[in-house]
């Protein structure tokens, strides 16, 4: 989990630098504190999800949020859902000739 947070922080920092924004400028634009932006870029697991969303929005990356938990990309979840579905039982048809 820590590695994922570090990777996300590194990617946020790269996106900020490409936009030539300072930490303070991004914090002001996102409406959060300098320390919170710094913590998010540092991969601090204590940083709230709202801070990450605000940072993405401030950099114009809000459309990327959709891919975070896209159910169509969740292969494990789809496999688990299929495994939980009830299995259909084939009923044999019996022919009752004596019914007529």
Q: What is the CATH number of domain 2-64?
A: 1.10.260.40
pTM value is: 0.71
pLDDT at residue 82 in the model: 87
What b/e sequence results for 2-34 when a residue is b if at least 16 CB atoms lie within 10 Å of its CB, and e otherwise? eeebeebbeebbebbeeeebeeeebbebbebee
Q: Identify the pLDDT of residue 57.
A: 95
pLDDT digit string (tens) for the chain, length 100 residues: 778 899 999 999 999 999 999 999 999 999 999 999 999 999 999 999 999 999 999 999 988 887 777 888 889 988 998 888 887 766 677 666 555 5
SS3 state of residue 25: helix
CA 62 to chain centre: 12
């Amino acid at each position: 989990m820590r590695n994922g947070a570090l990777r996300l922080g590194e990617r946020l920092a790269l996106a900020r630098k490409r936009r030539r924004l300072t930490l303070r400028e991004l914090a002001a634009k996102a409406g959060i504190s300098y320390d919170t932006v710094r913590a998010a870029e540092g991969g601090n697991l204590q940083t709230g999800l709202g801070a990450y969303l605000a940072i993405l929005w401030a950099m114009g990356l809000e459309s990327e949020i959709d891919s975070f938990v896209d159910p169509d990309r969740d292969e494990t979840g789809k496999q688990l859902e299929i495994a939980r579905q009830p299995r259909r039982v084939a009923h044999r048809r019996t022919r009752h000739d004596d019914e007529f």
